[in-house]
Structure 1
Amino acid sequence: MKIALYGINTVTEQLTSTLADEHELIYACTSGQEQFESHPTLSLPELVQTEVDRIIICSMFVDEIAQDLVKHGIDLEKIYFYNQMQSIIVACKDVIIPTVRKDKVLYAVFDLSRNVATFDCCCFAIQAELYREEHQYDSIHFVIQPKRSADPDSLSFTTSHELDDVEWRLNHIVIPVFEALPACSGVSKMSYRQQAVEMLQHQPHVFPESFRETNRGIHLKIEQVLKYKRAGIDTARFRPHAHAEALVDSFVQDRNIGDKKLLVITLREYPLHEHRNSPVEEWAEFTKRVDSDEFHIIVVRDTSKACEALPECLSHCDTLPLASIDMHIRFALYRRAHINMSINGGTSYTYFFTENVNSIMFIPTSREHFSNSVKNVATGGYFFGEQPEFRAHENQVVIWHSGTTETIHGAFLKLHRQIQTGELQDFSDLYDDPADMEQS
């Protein structure tokens, strides 16, 4: 085979040493003015006039060189390159990146003046994805519109989180959640509100549609997602990156747990609204009742505790700190688990919108703080005594209780039995007494 090595560098030297014995090698570069050892090099025009079986690009500038070769009439079938990361020769035709259809990109505006940088972004992301699919667009480019304004007469305030906390949440929660949609093709953080308007003024497809007139996004609630759910459309769309799944697989394999099923417990240990936190001692006592011959327990700490050891009462359990920080590791671990368990919190919201996740979520309600009131919980689509309409399947269960050891264990046994047998279980006997709850 007659092969032209295009580009003169150390890769050329390596390929010469491995190919010279079995193939006839010639050398080329764009100008033809370089020389490889004692061999002259052909210029691009000269190479075009030379009959070769294969051209291997030795440079890292594969796109530019291959484009020039094709423009000069060389068949793409003959063009290869040396993948310097994997140390293999690859056919260009096998790794072509599809061309973007500009008129098929949906731009979705996540407005921080209308939405908080929390896991509520899940609802927005799912709604944007369902809208994209409904209108048959190829991909979504998310645009984050900040509170900051270039208008000196505009007022905005840090109402929920400090600015540095907002940035952390955007980078570690919101953006990774958006990128968990396979259709996400990009995420842009604007420097100021008006920049989003400037960026999108010539784009044909923007979500929400009202952005054209108002120059701002909207606060989306679960009701917008439910209209698709009621139409029989699957709303579980989040999928972790393949690399994250591989990392979780390697973590599990390293544990040598054999056929044991994963039981993943996610703790809420946040310093704000501490009354909503997981009752750790109750959970710890529950873990001692789990059959260790059948289950391997992994505890995921709150992000604020990610770099700390597990509480002493849970020291007998395993943990994966990376899942507390990296959303895609978290998604992958949740998918890998036989059952996920947690109290109601931001991360548990992702259960319902991630492919192939089984879960138990405990929702405590009380009169003591607005965040735990029956009315407030209902704004998220959770209605006391009912299972959420937006859950992906029946192996995602809500327990209306704060989570005592007995209740946690009872819910676990029931869901495990339901998964194993396919027979639906009644979880209502584990709920709080509705007479004790605020209903008005």
Structure 2
Amino acid sequence: MPMFNRGYLANSSLQEKVAIIGCGESAKVFAEWSEVEHFDVFTTLGGGQFRDKDVLAVETLREPNDYLQIIIANQYVDEILEQWVNDNKSLQNVFWFDFMNLKLAQVDSLSYTQSAKDSSLHVIYDLHVLPATFDIAAFLVRAELRRIELGLDNINLIIIGGNFGGVSARACLNHGSEQGTWRIQNVLIPMSQMLKRCRGVSFIPNKKCLSDLTQGEATFPQDLSARPDFRFYALAPLQKRFESGADIQVLESPMQAKEYARQFLKSHGISKQFITISLREYTHQASRNSCIECYQYLAERVLNLGLGIVLIRDTNKALEQKLNWEGTVECPVASFNVAIRMALYESAFMNISVSSGPSFGLMLLSRHCDFLMTHLVDNSQVVSSEAFLKERQGISVGEQFPFCGRFQRVCWTEDAEEIANEFELMIKEKLSIN
């Protein structure tokens, strides 16, 4: 299929006319940018003129293949494409013109094909029984594996809330209703962006609303009457899928987040290789927090290797007075924005963090993040006890996650010097092969 460029359009013959849908500012910019000469113009109702040509009604555009390409050059692209699909018209040569960036996007890449419309897995995250935490990451990976098994195109995430200000009691557990609501908006929904095939998110108050959204189509979990348990959001079951040949490191930041991460790095003069240090500084289960002095010492060691350092503080501390460690830059936006945090992890030469929601939910389930994870065991807390790690996360003291890459490791020592030594060795080893 021929792709657009200005010269190609300008030289198209009379038999290769272009159809432009729209006659406003976007259409004007497209006509000037493309230098197209042979074209017809369409709007919803037709009428009037555009560049000395009569504007036709879009319903008269019955044979799209009569045109070299069809350009949607207006803001109503969603409505136009939905109607186009409903009319069973081909989308093979349809493009949308992004006049702000002077780019053409093929409609297929915008997921408006008939199959994309009808072939979706409805993923149900019920906050009555599932946590409002980064544990949703493993749940989403399981859903992605199910989508692949069924041969479906996309995922629609449906979050079921509750009666506590729209949040379930389960979501408020340990954090309160305000934090529960915050986590839905700033953890659960943004985590869906880490799956490229997730095309939409809905929030409903209870299961009674499900039928209107799913309409008998495929769901995950498949049996909505059953009560999901930890197997739906723990790592141990995912490891079994890995052992059966499944790729479980499927999470990745969206392109826009990568661009914002680049902007941050450039604006702070970080042009060389850098690491991230993510700090846990939370009042809940404080014994699992990062040792600030230990990580400051580690940062000094890293600076001696010539790498930059980006600090990502705990969300609850991100806007307080800066730590002002020498040679480091803090990135508060990454403390609040999951996608930008992930993009920084992916861009970094190496990452280091204690065991936490972001480290388990982002780094561990992405092949694009190299890291050293520390402080997994704290037997004073159930969720970090050795028994819990074995049962839920599928790992025992001294082991490594079998699905992780060469530079994705767990450090089991609690000694600051030994942690710094291991991290430095990882960095040097990676530097030696880059």
Counterpart for residue 426 of structure 2: 415
Please state if 1:302 is matched with 2:317.
no
Counterpart for residue 164 of structure 1: 178
Please state if 1:210 is matched with 2:223.
yes
Say whether the 8 Å CA contact 1:352–1:391 is kept in structure 2: no
Alpha-carbon distance between aligned partners in 1 of 2:243 and 2:172, rounded to the nearest angstrom: 37
Please state if 1:264 is matched with 2:284.
no
Say whether the 8 Å CA contact 1:382–1:388 is kept in structure 2: no
Counterpart for residue 351 of structure 1: 363
Say whether the 8 Å CA contact 1:146–1:193 is kept in structure 2: no
Question: Aligned pair in 2 of structure 1 residues 24, 164: CA closer, same or farther (>3 Å)?
Answer: same
Say whether the 8 Å CA contact 1:384–1:400 is kept in structure 2: no
The one-letter code sitting in structure 2 at the alignment partner of 1:124 is F
Unaligned runs of 5+ in 2: 1-12
Counterpart for residue 373 of structure 2: 361
Alpha-carbon distance between aligned partners in 1 of 2:394 and 2:71, rounded to the nearest angstrom: 60
Unaligned runs of 5+ in 1: 423-440
CA RMSD of superposed structures (Å): 4.2
Say whether the 8 Å CA contact 2:161–2:206 is kept in structure 1: yes
The one-letter code sitting in structure 2 at the alignment partner of 1:341 is I
Alpha-carbon distance between aligned partners in 2 of 1:112 and 1:71, rounded to the nearest angstrom: 35
Q: How many angstroms does 1:28 deviate by? A: 6.5
The TM-score, its normalising length taken from structure 2, stands at: 0.77
Q: How many angstroms does 1:29 deviate by? A: 5.6
Say whether the 8 Å CA contact 2:94–2:107 is kept in structure 1: yes
Please state if 1:385 is matched with 2:412.
no
Q: How many angstroms does 1:286 deviate by? A: 2.1
Alpha-carbon distance between aligned partners in 1 of 2:32 and 2:198, rounded to the nearest angstrom: 43
Please state if 1:235 is matched with 2:248.
yes
The one-letter code sitting in structure 1 at the alignment partner of 2:209 is Q
Q: How many angstroms does 1:412 deviate by? A: 0.9
Query: Percent identity, aligned pairs only?
Result: 23
Counterpart for residue 438 of structure 1: none
Question: Aligned pair in 2 of structure 1 residues 294, 104: CA closer, same or farther (>3 Å)?
Answer: same
3-state DSSP of counterpart to 1:272: coil
3-state DSSP of counterpart to 1:249: helix
Alpha-carbon distance between aligned partners in 1 of 2:145 and 2:92, rounded to the nearest angstrom: 39
Alpha-carbon distance between aligned partners in 1 of 2:338 and 2:293, rounded to the nearest angstrom: 26
Following superposition of structure 1 onto structure 2, how do residues 63-212 of structure 1 map, counting pairs within 5 Å? 83-87=98-102, 97-101=112-116, 104-148=119-163, 158-196=172-210, 199-200=213-214, 202-211=215-224
Say whether the 8 Å CA contact 2:277–2:310 is kept in structure 1: yes
The one-letter code sitting in structure 2 at the alignment partner of 1:325 is F
The one-letter code sitting in structure 1 at the alignment partner of 2:207 is R
Question: Aligned pair in 2 of structure 1 residues 144, 340: CA closer, same or farther (>3 Å)?
Answer: same
Q: How many angstroms does 1:191 deviate by? A: 1.6
Instruction: Give the paired residue count.
Output: 410
Please state if 1:34 is matched with 2:45.
no
The TM-score, its normalising length taken from structure 1, stands at: 0.76
The one-letter code sitting in structure 1 at the alignment partner of 2:370 is N
Q: How many angstroms does 1:354 deviate by? A: 0.9
Q: How many angstroms does 1:256 deviate by? A: 4.0
Q: Which stretch of the first structure deviates more once superposed, 83-92 or 386-395?
A: 83-92
Higher Cα Rg: structure 1 or 2?
1
